[in-house]
């Protein structure tokens, strides 16, 4: 996506909203494009983290008016829909968070998003594309161990927050490609037969050596599939940009009136 693409396809916008905005750093480029000739733009970051929203206000506040919405994706979008001013809106769902949903849940989720938008609004969706399997697996099992540490930290959090006694040294991170469902799966593999107690639910769990805890899925897509999702959910595909170095698609849809 190049500077000016937003105004080229969306025209003059009254507002930009974002699902899962975080600190807003990834959004600056898009907002600068949307602000071209539109000094009255308002940005609505939607996130469950108040800390991330505060950082977002600091990051974006010098560009335009920022009104944080501290709720989950759909609740925040519903709140925005009930209070928004007239004029076209651009909704952002960047990165590839759509891939964390189960594939059969995606059409319903997108239809819910469409129900909170008005005809003529725009939706910019980020989605990771299918690529060489070895390349995808390497991204989820990096040699520096960053992803492995992130995955194992889930057990650490369960220990701290749910009074459990997981021994992190007795599990290892493993990334798998599920060809049938076109998804990367992250697992934690038990290295031995072991027993784990979780005090918060007053329960004990037995793990056999080699048994796994499936912690996350990241579905990968083809562009025709994304266009199908759009049409099925009340949108019309407008444009798609694909990163040359890492095939990630940013696809722009228009809400059908």
- Percent of the residues in the chain that have a pLDDT greater than 70, as a whole number: 97
Q: What is the pLDDT of residues 228-253, one digit of tens each?
A: 999 999 999 999 999 888 889 999 99
**Which of 3.40.50.150, 3.30.830.10, 3.40.50.880, 3.40.50.1820 would CATH assign to domain 5-129+221-255?**
3.40.50.150
Q: Give counts: helices (H), strands (E), the chain.
A: 8, 13
Q: What is the pLDDT of residues 36-49, one digit of tens each?
A: 656 678 999 999 99
Dig out the tokens for 153 from the structure.
Answer: 């930290």
Binning pLDDT at 50, 70 and 90, where does residue 203 land? very high
Range list for CATH 3.40.50.150 in the chain? 5-129+221-255
> Please, what is the angle between helix 223-232 and helix 106-115, to 10°?
50
Q: What is the pLDDT of residues 54-90, one digit of tens each?
A: 999 998 888 889 999 999 999 999 999 998 877 889 9
Separation CA 233–CA 251 (nearest Å): 14
pTM attached to this predicted model: 0.90
């Amino acid at each position: 996506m190049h500077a000016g693409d937003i105004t080229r396809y969306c025209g003059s916008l009254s507002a930009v909203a974002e699902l899962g905005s975080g600190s807003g750093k990834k959004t600056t480029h898009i907002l600068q494009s949307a602000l071209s000739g539109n000094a009255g733009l308002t940005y609505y970051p939607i996130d469950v983290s108040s800390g991330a929203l505060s950082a977002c206000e600091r990051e974006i506040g010098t560009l335009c008016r920022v009104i944080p919405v501290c709720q989950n994706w759909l609740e925040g979008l519903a709140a925005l829909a009930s209070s928004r001013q007239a004029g076209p809106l651009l909704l952002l769902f960047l990165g590839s968070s759509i891939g964390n949903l189960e594939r059969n849940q995606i059409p319903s989720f997108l239809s819910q998003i469409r129900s909170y938008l008005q005809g003529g609004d725009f939706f910019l969706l980020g989605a990771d594309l299918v690529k060489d399997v070895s390349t995808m697996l390497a991204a989820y099992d990096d040699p520096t161990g960053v992803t492995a540490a992130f995955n194992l930290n889930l057990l650490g959090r369960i220990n701290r927050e749910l009074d459990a006694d997981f021994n992190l040294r007795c599990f290892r991170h493993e990334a798998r490609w599920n060809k049938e469902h076109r998804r990367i799966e992250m697992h934690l593999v038990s290295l031995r037969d072991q027993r784990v107690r979780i005090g918060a639910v007053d329960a004990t769990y037995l793990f056999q050596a080699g048994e796994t805890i499936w912690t996350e899925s990241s579905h990968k897509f083809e562009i025709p599939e994304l266009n199908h999702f759009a049409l099925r959910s009340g949108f019309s595909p407008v444009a798609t940009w694909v990163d040359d170095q890492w095939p990630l698609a940013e696809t722009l849809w228009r809400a059908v009136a």
